[in-house]
Amino acid sequence: MQLQESGEMYLETILILSKKKPYVRSVDVGEYMGFSKPSVSRAVGLLRQGGFLIMQPDGGLILTELGRDLAEKIYERHTVLTDMLVMLGVSQQTAAEDACKIEHDLSDETFCAIKKHMERYGK
């Protein structure tokens, strides 16, 4: 199943939150993303149907292997692109915002080339 950008953003958010705390709930996702409870509920339902996450009986959200793999891919793109833009002289905040816009549409080929370049010449 191919996810839209918004689904990828939810997965990435759940991954980020799970790195900060052991228990992630829909309300945490909504607060982090600035979205309403109904919006988060709908997205969580779609992600569950797609096999990207599991909702525990107590409301905790856990990424499946499929969900975690995709979330980590998007998160890696975000961090590498942010680092590249900062290296080019863009402010941290603008770089992070722009990376968020780019990370979902960039081809794997282009991202791999950017990542190689950053590994060779970055930091």
Nearest to 62 by CA among 27, 16, 21, 23: 23
pTM as predicted: 0.87
Segments of the chain scoring below 70 in pLDDT: 1-2, 123
pLDDT at 32: 95
What integer pLDDT is reported at residue 110 of this predicted model?
Answer: 95
Q: What is the pLDDT of residue 6?
A: 87
Q: How confident is the model over 50-78, as pLDDT tens digits? A: 999 999 999 899 999 999 999 999 999 99
Domains present along the chain, CATH in parentheses: 5-69 (1.10.10.10), 74-121 (1.10.60.10)
**Residue 9's pLDDT is what?**
93
98 sits in which H/E element: helix 92-102
| For the chain, the helix, strand and coil percentages under 3-state DSSP, each to the nearest 5 | 70, 5, 25
